[in-house]
Amino acid sequence: MGRYLTAVRFAVVGLLLITPCSFAQQFKVMSDDGRSEDFFGYSVAIDKGVALVGAFKADVKDSEDAGAAYVYIKTKDGWQQQAKLTATPRYPGDTLGGNVALKNGFALLGARNSDLKKKNLKRRFHF
Protein backbone atom coordinates (compact mmCIF):
# COMPACT_ATOMS: atom_id res chain seq x y z
CA MET A 1 0.00 0.00 0.00
CA GLY A 2 1.40 3.39 -0.97
CA ARG A 3 1.50 6.72 0.82
CA TYR A 4 0.06 9.96 -0.44
CA LEU A 5 2.27 13.02 -0.72
CA THR A 6 1.59 16.38 -2.30
CA ALA A 7 3.16 18.63 -4.88
CA VAL A 8 2.18 22.30 -4.86
CA ARG A 9 2.07 24.74 -7.75
CA PHE A 10 0.01 27.92 -7.69
CA ALA A 11 -3.66 27.06 -7.05
CA VAL A 12 -3.45 23.35 -7.87
CA VAL A 13 -2.45 20.43 -5.68
CA GLY A 14 -1.32 17.18 -7.27
CA LEU A 15 -1.96 14.13 -5.11
CA LEU A 16 0.77 11.55 -5.66
CA LEU A 17 0.71 7.86 -4.81
CA ILE A 18 4.14 6.77 -3.56
CA THR A 19 5.13 3.09 -3.61
CA PRO A 20 8.55 1.64 -2.74
CA CYS A 21 9.75 1.72 -6.37
CA SER A 22 7.74 4.44 -8.09
CA PHE A 23 5.31 7.30 -7.83
CA ALA A 24 2.53 8.61 -10.01
CA GLN A 25 0.24 11.59 -9.91
CA GLN A 26 -3.23 10.35 -9.03
CA PHE A 27 -5.34 13.47 -9.46
CA LYS A 28 -5.22 17.27 -9.41
CA VAL A 29 -7.49 19.16 -7.03
CA MET A 30 -8.43 22.83 -7.09
CA SER A 31 -10.71 24.91 -4.91
CA ASP A 32 -13.96 25.97 -6.50
CA ASP A 33 -13.37 29.63 -5.57
CA GLY A 34 -9.60 29.95 -5.32
CA ARG A 35 -6.93 32.22 -6.75
CA SER A 36 -3.19 31.68 -7.09
CA GLU A 37 -2.54 34.16 -4.25
CA ASP A 38 -4.48 31.97 -1.77
CA PHE A 39 -1.50 29.61 -1.20
CA PHE A 40 -3.83 26.67 -1.78
CA GLY A 41 -1.92 23.52 -0.88
CA TYR A 42 0.52 25.17 1.54
CA SER A 43 -0.53 22.52 4.03
CA VAL A 44 -2.18 19.17 3.30
CA ALA A 45 -3.37 16.23 5.40
CA ILE A 46 -4.83 12.94 4.12
CA ASP A 47 -6.54 10.24 6.15
CA LYS A 48 -8.65 7.32 4.93
CA GLY A 49 -9.85 8.77 1.63
CA VAL A 50 -10.31 12.31 2.94
CA ALA A 51 -7.95 15.15 2.06
CA LEU A 52 -7.74 18.50 3.87
CA VAL A 53 -6.02 21.29 1.91
CA GLY A 54 -5.10 24.60 3.56
CA ALA A 55 -5.17 27.98 1.81
CA PHE A 56 -3.96 30.39 4.47
CA LYS A 57 -4.24 33.52 2.30
CA ALA A 58 -7.78 32.84 1.01
CA ASP A 59 -10.17 35.76 1.22
CA VAL A 60 -13.41 34.95 3.04
CA LYS A 61 -16.28 37.35 2.36
CA ASP A 62 -15.03 40.74 3.57
CA SER A 63 -11.93 39.39 5.37
CA GLU A 64 -8.79 39.53 3.22
CA ASP A 65 -6.28 36.73 3.92
CA ALA A 66 -8.52 35.23 6.62
CA GLY A 67 -7.64 31.76 5.31
CA ALA A 68 -9.59 28.58 4.77
CA ALA A 69 -9.24 24.84 4.29
CA TYR A 70 -10.97 22.63 1.77
CA VAL A 71 -12.22 19.07 2.34
CA TYR A 72 -12.03 16.53 -0.49
CA ILE A 73 -13.44 13.00 -0.54
CA LYS A 74 -11.93 10.29 -2.73
CA THR A 75 -14.49 8.77 -5.08
CA LYS A 76 -14.22 6.34 -7.97
CA ASP A 77 -13.89 9.37 -10.28
CA GLY A 78 -11.14 11.09 -8.28
CA TRP A 79 -11.17 13.66 -5.48
CA GLN A 80 -14.33 15.76 -5.06
CA GLN A 81 -14.54 18.95 -2.99
CA GLN A 82 -17.04 18.52 -0.15
CA ALA A 83 -16.64 21.61 2.03
CA LYS A 84 -14.82 24.86 2.65
CA LEU A 85 -13.89 25.39 6.32
CA THR A 86 -13.60 28.95 7.64
CA ALA A 87 -13.31 30.53 11.10
CA THR A 88 -16.07 32.33 12.97
CA PRO A 89 -15.38 34.99 13.98
CA ARG A 90 -12.73 35.78 11.38
CA TYR A 91 -10.59 38.83 10.77
CA PRO A 92 -8.39 39.99 7.91
CA GLY A 93 -4.95 38.39 8.09
CA ASP A 94 -5.92 35.48 10.39
CA THR A 95 -4.17 32.95 8.06
CA LEU A 96 -6.39 29.99 8.98
CA GLY A 97 -5.18 26.85 7.21
CA GLY A 98 -1.45 27.49 7.41
CA ASN A 99 -1.29 24.24 9.39
CA VAL A 100 -3.79 21.42 9.02
CA ALA A 101 -4.22 17.96 10.53
CA LEU A 102 -6.79 15.26 9.87
CA LYS A 103 -7.49 12.07 11.83
CA ASN A 104 -10.56 9.84 12.19
CA GLY A 105 -12.95 12.43 10.78
CA PHE A 106 -11.65 15.36 12.83
CA ALA A 107 -9.91 18.34 11.23
CA LEU A 108 -7.59 20.68 13.13
CA LEU A 109 -6.59 24.02 11.56
CA GLY A 110 -4.13 26.58 12.85
CA ALA A 111 -4.53 30.37 12.58
CA ARG A 112 -1.23 31.83 13.71
CA ASN A 113 -2.20 35.47 13.13
CA SER A 114 -5.70 35.29 14.58
CA ASP A 115 -6.79 38.78 15.59
CA LEU A 116 -9.29 38.06 18.32
CA LYS A 117 -9.53 41.46 20.02
CA LYS A 118 -6.42 42.58 18.06
CA LYS A 119 -4.05 40.47 20.18
CA ASN A 120 -2.64 38.19 17.43
CA LEU A 121 -3.47 35.05 19.35
CA LYS A 122 -2.37 31.76 17.85
CA ARG A 123 -5.78 30.05 17.77
CA ARG A 124 -6.67 26.50 16.75
CA PHE A 125 -9.98 25.45 15.26
CA HIS A 126 -11.37 21.93 15.14
CA PHE A 127 -14.13 20.66 12.89
40-49: per-residue pLDDT in tens? 888 999 898 8
Say which residue, 76 or 19, is predicted with more confidence. 76
| Helix H or strand E encompassing 75 | strand 68-75
Residue 71, pLDDT score = 92
- Beta-bridge partner residues of 13: 8, 29
Q: How much is the pLDDT for 32?
A: 82
| Verdict on whether the full-model pTM lies above 0.85 | no
State how far the Cα of 39 lies from the Cα of 55, in Å rounded to an integer. 5
Spatial separation of the C-alpha atoms in residues 29 and 31, rounded to whole Å? 7
What are the tens digits of pLDDT across the range 105-121?
888 888 877 655 555 55
pLDDT at position 5: 42
Query: So what's the pLDDT on residue 1?
Result: 43
Spans of all domains in the chain: 32-126
DSSP 116: G
Would you say residue 2 has pLDDT above 60? Answer: no
pLDDT at 18: 52
- Residue 13 reports pLDDT greater than 70: no
**Which tens digits make up the pLDDT trace of 56-76?**
999 988 888 989 999 998 888
